[in-house]
Structure 1
Amino acid sequence: MDRRALLAVVAAGLSGCVADPPLASADGSNESRNREPPENADPDAQRWISIASTDEIPEEAELEIDAEVVEPNVTPEKTARVEVTTTNRGAARKLSHREEMCSIFNRDRGVSVADGLVLHRPSSAEWMDRVEGKWSPDRPAGEPRGYASYACGQKEYDESASVTSVYDVWDDYRTWGYMRPGTYRFETHVATYPPDAELGDESDVEFTWGLELKVRKP
């Protein structure tokens, strides 16, 4: 079966216009912890991805959320990879995200706020056709985004338990240009629940957490 036909079995999710939006800004406070780009790289074929900043977490949440660029290079053969790890520093309880399909940047939360970059789980990216030599889906810019239709409930975590989500960095096919240099912000909703909470129960603590990635040419 054609891969695009498989992807058609999704719930359509529409985004905003496809005009070139302004990029979000960041202070670059965490950039020094990333390695330097390689020498003699082709600037037309490659990009360099680093973490520009991450949001602080409310103290009452008793959580740690750490982001790391484990593969910073984007080339025609491979793209950058980011890992986000959430650790429970409180007593056993439930959190709003888990592995794979219900991960922290699930579905439309993996699209940068100002559009331009998209975080895809490696398992879902395997089904996407891409533009030759680029990490951009081979789709018309006007084609709506589509997301698989499934429900996400809370998952219980013991004290000090953690979950790591892995994402490949892709260009956003709905914006012009390819991985334009700049800073891109991603935001997601995080909530904690009592260990006996059921779907639909109120959360103990909830907040918005953000990550900013910086793109530059080597």
Structure 2
Amino acid sequence: MHYFLLSAFGIPIVKFFPEGLSVRHLALYYDGNFQKELPLTRKQLLTLHMYLAAFFAPAVFLVAISGGLYLAGVKGSVEQDTIYSSEDVAISADSSTLKADVTALLVNAGVESYDYEYIKVKGNSLYTRPTSKDYYVIELLQTGVEVVHVRPNLQSRLMELHKGHGPSAFKIFQTAFSVGLLFVIISGLFLGVSAARLRRPTLLTVSAGALIFAMLLV
């Protein structure tokens, strides 16, 4: 038996190898035995990588399609109708009962059985959210209030989901998606770097991507 001082991802380790192995076989032997020391086998990691990629594929499509269309100038559109106006109603954006006040105003405007989660305050405008579906904007005017019914088209709805303005349950899914996507990327890199045959092309590819990304940031 021979022993060699090697480095696994910058961590020095001592490994013992059978006699008579060439340098190439030593590398392959090291790769194979190193995999056995991991909490997950390579096959298990690859399976998990594949399942997560497949599970989150619809979310990737949503982000890529909506974001790509937005950058191409297709930003979506909305239809707006003022459905109520009153000079006798006053609402304060700083009120501790803001949601109850807005709900009462919507009922006065003839909007019933409308479910929303919270109010987003932007200047003198109050937005009911989520805005990934039909929503209402309450304009706080000096002379009173106006209630505007907003109907976004498909691209606008997708962009609202993209921006995190969807329902709370969907935002929880988006958080899980961000963690899952990081795992898919990191596990994919690890699977490439940890395989002797794929190590060089993987490192070259990630280096090229990092270089182009850094150049575009300048």
TM-score of the alignment, normalized to the shorter chain, above 0.5: no
TM-score between the two structures when normalised by the length of structure 2: 0.22
TM-score between the two structures when normalised by the length of structure 1: 0.22
Larger Rg: 2
Looking at secondary structure, tell me which structure has more helix per residue: 2
Looking at secondary structure, tell me which structure has more strand per residue: 1
Q: Which has the higher contact order (CA 8 A, sep 6+)?
A: 1
